[in-house]
């Protein structure tokens, strides 16, 4: 029998499978579609700066511990699979063109200062040196505030997911794609099996990592959660050469340039149920934002557009822990805009729970039964 059946092969389920198989557990991942093709594929792969420090709150710890782990995970995945996941500590620029955005950045600066995270205010000559592509914006005298986060990083999530799958396979993880979990069988305080298109699947432990669909899975266990799909749309430009060195953040929107000249412009936050269509209005807004900020993008063709469903949660915190009174069923979901970032530390603490070892932090703020 498998030691753990992981239901959902996004970045959370794959990272968990990678960590558990690294601890010599036999793991089986099932996904209703193809693994690594939902929100985790759709994301931008921005890893904002974060740092572990004493008295850190649980959510900040997840970010900070993941931030620490990513360089090592990326190197280990490269060594094992030959796949470069594109982890780059490229730095991030934060722009404000209105007084409201400037006030929000001042708040962020205070938060980073408290966490001893470098977040340097830039004047215009410093900005010109840091990111020459923004020179026209400076000339237009539109900027109210600019900051630089040296420790911001990015990864190419489609490549990271491919690397995780390859590394999991090397460690003996089995994958079943196109297999939907439709029901559960429990016996008192134990989950015995899940019912799927391919018949019942048994395991010693079960981990629910179904992203935006996790609410449906937990309802089968009579656990209500506040997980809901939040759609985000994205535009991908192709440039002959990389036009930006840094990630550019403005409010909830951003530009992320990859090494090979691809530039992502994102994103929106929409409640549209499980509808993953793009809409002309949002795509036009994103293109305009990108081309206003970086004139080099005015000539760049749009290569692709898409939308993904973030697993939002009612209080902005993920759900991580044992499910209700079940002793062998666990959940890790609801990471909203930060699932790629938070995945390594989530995998660590969820693996600790599954291995019945004490977790590095108090996980009670993430308890699945909080509604």
Ligand X SMILES: Cc1cc2nc3c(=O)[nH]c(=O)nc-3n(C[C@H](O)[C@H](O)[C@H](O)COP(=O)(O)OP(=O)(O)OC[C@H]3O[C@@H](n4cnc5c(N)ncnc54)[C@H](O)[C@@H]3O)c2cc1C
C-beta closer to ligand X: residue 171 or 310: 310
Out of 234, 244, 282, 317, name the contact with ligand X by CB under 6 A.
234
Q: Which stretch binds ligand X (CB under 6 A): 38-46, 125-133, 285-293, 320-328?
A: 38-46
Residue 39 in the binding site for ligand X (CB under 6 A): yes
Residue 10 in the binding site for ligand X (CB under 6 A): yes
Residue 207 in the binding site for ligand X (CB under 6 A): no
Residue 312 in the binding site for ligand X (CB under 6 A): no
If DSSP states are collapsed to H, E and C, what string results for the chain?
Answer: CCCEEEECCCHHHHHHHHHHHHCCCCEEEEECCCCCCCHHHHCCCEECCCCCCCCCCHHHHHHHHHHHHHHHHHHHHHHHHCCCCCCECCCEEEEECCHHHHHHHHHHHHHHHHCCCCCEECCHHHHHHHCHHHHHHHHCCCCCEEEEECCCEECCHHHHHHHHHHHHHHCCCEEEECCCEEEEEEECCEEEEEEECCEEEECCEEEECCHHHHHHHHHCCCCCCCCEEEEEEEEEEECCCCCCCCEEEECCEEEEECCCCEEEEECCCECECECCCCCHHHHHHHHHHHHHHCHHHHCCCEEEEEEEEEEECCCCCCEEEECCCCCCEEEEECCHHHHHHHHHHHHHHHHHHHCCCCCCCCCHHHCHHHC
Residue 11 in the binding site for ligand X (CB under 6 A): yes
Out of 117, 133, 146, 181, name the contact with ligand X by CB under 6 A.
181
Contact 96, 146 (CB under 8 A): yes
Residue 32 in the binding site for ligand X (CB under 6 A): yes
For the stretch 287-295, contacts whose Cβ atoms lie closer than 8 Å and that sit 24 or more positions apart, written own/partner, are 287/235, 289/250, 289/253, 289/265, 290/235, 290/237, 290/255, 290/263, 290/265, 292/137, 293/95, 293/134, 293/137, 293/248, 293/250, 293/255, 294/133, 294/134, 294/243, 294/244, 294/248, 294/255, 294/263, 295/136
Query: Tokens standing for 85?
Result: 């996941």
Question: Shortest gap between Cβ of 102 and ligand X (angstroms)?
Answer: 23
C-beta closer to ligand X: residue 81 or 338: 338
Out of 13, 86, 91, 215, name the contact with ligand X by CB under 6 A.
13
Out of 8, 49, 92, 321, name the contact with ligand X by CB under 6 A.
8
C-beta closer to ligand X: residue 43 or 86: 43
Out of 65, 258, 310, 322, name the contact with ligand X by CB under 6 A.
310
Residue 7 in the binding site for ligand X (CB under 6 A): yes
Residue 227 in the binding site for ligand X (CB under 6 A): no
- 264-283 residues in contact with ligand X (CB under 6 A) are 266-267
Question: Shortest gap between Cβ of 126 and ligand X (angstroms)?
Answer: 25
C-beta closer to ligand X: residue 83 or 212: 212
Residue 28 in the binding site for ligand X (CB under 6 A): no
Out of 215, 339, 344, 368, name the contact with ligand X by CB under 6 A.
339
Residues facing residue 195 across a β-bridge: 183, 200
Which x/- pattern, by CB under 6 A, does the window 140-179 give for ligand X? Answer: ----------------------------------------
Query: Tokens standing for 225?
Result: 């959660």
Residue 31 in the binding site for ligand X (CB under 6 A): yes
Residue 255 in the binding site for ligand X (CB under 6 A): no
Question: Shortest gap between Cβ of 146 and ligand X (angstroms)?
Answer: 20
Out of 73, 213, 237, 319, name the contact with ligand X by CB under 6 A.
213
Out of 91, 308, 321, 344, name the contact with ligand X by CB under 6 A.
308
Out of 210, 215, 321, 368, name the contact with ligand X by CB under 6 A.
210
C-beta closer to ligand X: residue 126 or 304: 304
**Binding residues for ligand X (CB under 6 A):** 7-13, 30-33, 38-40, 42-46, 180-181, 209-213, 217, 232, 234, 266-267, 308, 310-311, 333, 335-341
């Amino acid at each position: 029998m498998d030691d753990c059946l992981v239901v959902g092969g996004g970045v959370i389920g794959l990272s968990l499978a990678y960590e558990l198989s690294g601890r010599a557990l036999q793991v089986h991942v099932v996904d209703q579609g193809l693994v690594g093709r939902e929100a985790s594929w759709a994301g931008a792969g921005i890893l904002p700066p974060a740092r572990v420090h004493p008295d850190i709150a649980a959510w900040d710890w997840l970010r900070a511990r993941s931030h620490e782990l990513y360089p090592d995970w990326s190197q280990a995945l490269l060594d094992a699979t030959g796949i470069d996941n594109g982890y780059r500590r490229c730095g991030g620029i934060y722009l404000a063109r209105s007084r409201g955005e400037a006030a929000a950045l001042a708040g962020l600066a205070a938060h980073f200062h408290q966490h001893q995270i470098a977040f340097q205010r830039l004047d215009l000559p410093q900005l010109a040196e840091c990111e020459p592509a923004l020179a026209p914006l400076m000339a237009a005298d539109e900027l109210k505030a600019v900051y630089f986060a040296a420790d911001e990083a990015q990864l190419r999530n489609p490549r990271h997911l491919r690397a995780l799958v390859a590394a999991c396979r090397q460690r003996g993880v089995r994958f079943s794609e196109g297999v939907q979990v439709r029901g559960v069988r429990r016996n008192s305080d134990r989950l015995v099996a899940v019912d799927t298109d391919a018949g019942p699947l048994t395991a010693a432990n079960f981990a629910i990592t179904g992203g935006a669909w996790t609410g449906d899975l937990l309802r089968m266990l009579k656990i209500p959660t506040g997980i809901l799909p939040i759609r985000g749309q994205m535009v991908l430009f192709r440039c002959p050469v990389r036009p930006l060195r840094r990630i550019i953040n403005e409010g909830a929107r951003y530009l992320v340039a990859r090494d090979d000249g691809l530039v992502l412009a994102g994103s929106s936050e929409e409640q549209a149920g499980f509808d993953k269509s793009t809409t002309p209005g949002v795509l036009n807004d994103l293109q305009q934002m990108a081309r206003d900020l970086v004139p080099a993008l005015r000539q760049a063709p749009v290569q692709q557009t898409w939308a993904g469903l973030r697993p939002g949660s009612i209080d902005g915190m993920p759900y991580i822990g044992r499910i209700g009174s079940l002793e062998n069923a666990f959940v890790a979901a609801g990471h909203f805009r930060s699932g790629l970032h938070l995945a390594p530390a989530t995998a660590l603490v969820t693996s600790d729970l599954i291995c019945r070892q004490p977790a590095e932090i108090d996980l009670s703020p993430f308890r699945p039964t909080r509604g």
